[in-house]
Structure 1
Amino acid sequence: MLNRVVLTGRLTKDPNLKITPNGHAVCMFTLAVNRKKATGNDKADFINCIVWRNQAEAAATYLSKGSLVGVDGRLETRNYENQQGQRVFVTEVQVESVQFLESKKEKPGSDPAPVDVHNQVFNNPGNDDLPF
């Protein structure tokens, strides 16, 4: 079985960083991902993403609304009962790797230039030794 998601999009708002009771960083953000349609009327999908530990801290520090990023991870679904007693289903990407695709100073609409974000460190979720 294979469950792999690769997306490129822009953050719809600033990332939300929280610390779990166990002391782990978790960062949540929503990506707007363009979807081309044959009719020419492009649409966007809004995908919820969750990043953990060191990558969560880096995402919260360096990303903001409008940032262009690439994410690689897996889809997960969960459900819960809301206050009205209705079952709510949620689908989100558990992000394993975040790629910052433009520098913080670039504006949306300019040609993105990949940024070196110490790929080996960020692609290893268990590595707690950030070089900066």
Structure 2
Amino acid sequence: MNQIGLVGRLVREVELKEVGEDKVVTNNTLAVARRGKKENSPSTDFIPIVAWGQVAKLIQLYCEKGHMVGLTGKIQSRSYINKEEETVFMVEMVVDEVHFLQNKKLETAVK
């Protein structure tokens, strides 16, 4: 079974990219807090995330850098060749669902 659920903050502003006809994607990083080895030493993991289609559109519409979100999805590994012609291997979360824990529109109305 390949399922993952994470709660964290978006590291960058959300950018929606069109890839092909009627396909959109957004890539970002989720900062997820984790307990450190010592009692008062919290640590953070930075997990690459990718969302496609309607989920990507919802994230772009309702989220911005620093917002807390809950994500469910699966882990995917892939590789690509960078500009230096080196193979780069990466593991990322493919988002199936987003849970808005902080609403951009609500914050604007409160300010």
Q: Compute the TM-score of the two structures, normalised by the length of structure 2.
A: 0.88
What SS does structure 1 have at the residue aligned with 2:12?
coil
| Cα separation, 2, equivalents of 1:83 and 1:11 | 26
| Cα separation, 2, equivalents of 1:21 and 1:103 | 30
Provide the alpha-carbon RMSD of the alignment: 1.3
Aligned twin of 2:23: 24
- Confirm or deny: 8 A CA contact 2:63 2:103 kept in the other structure: no
Following TM superposition, by how much is the alpha carbon of 1:44 offset from its aligned partner in structure 2, in angstroms?
0.6
| Cα separation, 2, equivalents of 1:64 and 1:76 | 24
- Name the amino acid aligned to 2:22: G
| Cα separation, 2, equivalents of 1:25 and 1:80 | 20
Following TM superposition, by how much is the alpha carbon of 1:84 offset from its aligned partner in structure 2, in angstroms?
2.0
Q: Provide structure 2 residue ranges, at least 5 long, that are not aligned to the other structure.
A: none
| Cα separation, 2, equivalents of 1:43 and 1:79 | 27
- Confirm or deny: 8 A CA contact 2:55 2:95 kept in the other structure: no
Structure-to-structure mapping, 1:94-109, within 5 angstroms? 94-104=94-104, 105=107
Count of aligned pairs: 105
Following TM superposition, by how much is the alpha carbon of 1:55 offset from its aligned partner in structure 2, in angstroms?
1.4
Worse-superposed segment, 16-25 or 65-74: 16-25
Which structure shows the bigger proportion of residues in helix conformation?
Answer: 2
| Cα separation, 2, equivalents of 1:85 and 1:29 | 23
Q: Is 1:36 the equivalent of 2:43?
A: no
Q: Provide structure 1 residue ranges, at least 5 long, that are not aligned to the other structure.
A: 107-132
Per-residue displacement from partner, 1:69-123 (whole Å, max 9, x unpaired)?
00000000111222223221111101000000122218xxxxxxxxxxxxxxxxx
| Cα separation, 2, equivalents of 1:103 and 1:84 | 40
- Name the amino acid aligned to 2:36: K
Q: Compute the TM-score of the two structures, normalised by the length of structure 1.
A: 0.74
